[in-house]
Amino acid sequence: MEDYKLVKHAAPRKYSYNDSKTVIHVKSSTPFMSAVKRIDKTFGYYDSKYTKKGKPIPNENKNVGYITVRGMGKTILKVMNLALYFEHEQNRKVEVFTKTLTVLDELKSTNKDKDDVFQKRQVSCVELRIHFTKS
């Protein structure tokens, strides 16, 4: 396979604007603490808020009950650590799901006469659901 250069592509996922507020993707270069802070901030966004006089501001996001955290491949370890952190440090209810994702590998041929090869590869993935409610 010397004639090919591997280009990895992101796991295909559906675009949804609202997902950007409830789904957090952890990658291998994400530091553990920045993932923790990002999740914490998202909780803050969905917390019930009050006016200066102490009246509650109606929450428009009542349907959202948890935040999803996903990581695949070598990030699984980091995601599991996140699960432990939120379960024990913050006493939140955490659900763990395992998944298998199919991703696309592009083998770019360095030889201009040979065609590129596209392959599918399966990667394991972990999904956490960290609930707002504390146990």
Partner 1 sequence: MKEPTGLETKGVDSQGRPAKAKHSRGRELYRLRRQEKLLRYAARLKLSGNLIDGERVSARTMKMRSKLQALKERIDELSELKQQQVNNSVGSIDWTGINQRATIDKISTIRYSSRQRDYKWLPTHVWHAKRAHMVKRWGFNVPYEPTMKCFRQTSRQSRIKGCVGFDTSYMNTVILKGDGVFVLIGELTNDEATGKKYHSKGRVWEGFLMLNGEHLCRSLIWWIKSGTECVLRFHPSVYDVLLDHLVNHAKNVEFEDCRYSLGSLTVTGPQSLWSLASVLHPSISSEAGSTFEKLAGLNEVSALPVGSTFSMFIDDPRLWPKPVRPTGKYADVLDLIIDVQNGKATDRSAIEALFSKEGRVASYHGQPSLKQLGQRRTPEFLGKPIPKLESDPQIPVVIVKTTQGLVLFAPWHWILPIWHQLVHVPHFSMGGTKQLNQLGFEKGELGFADCVFTRAGFLEGQLKMKELATKWSKRPKSKRFNISKLNEAGSPFGCDWRYLQLLWKYLGELPEVEDHSGTEFTELQERVVKTKRDVFEKIQDTIQKDETLAQLGKPVFAQLPIELYRGEHHRPSTEKLPLVAIQFSMLNRGHPHDNARIYKIPETEYSSWMDAANKKTIQGRTVALEKQCPGKEHLIGYVTSATFNLAQGKGTGVGFIASKAYDHLNFNKADFVLVRNVGSTACHLAQWKLVAVQ
Residues that bind partner 1 (CB under 8 A): 7, 9-15, 17, 20, 102-104, 106, 109, 111-116, 118, 120
Complex with partner 1: residue 27 or 93, whichever CB lies closer: 27
Complex with partner 1: residue 48 or 102, whichever CB lies closer: 102
C-alpha separations of 125 from 29, 53, 83, 122 in Å: 16, 46, 14, 10
Shortest Å, Cβ 27 to partner 1: 12
Structure tokens at 18: 């609202």
Complex with partner 1: residue 12 or 56, whichever CB lies closer: 12
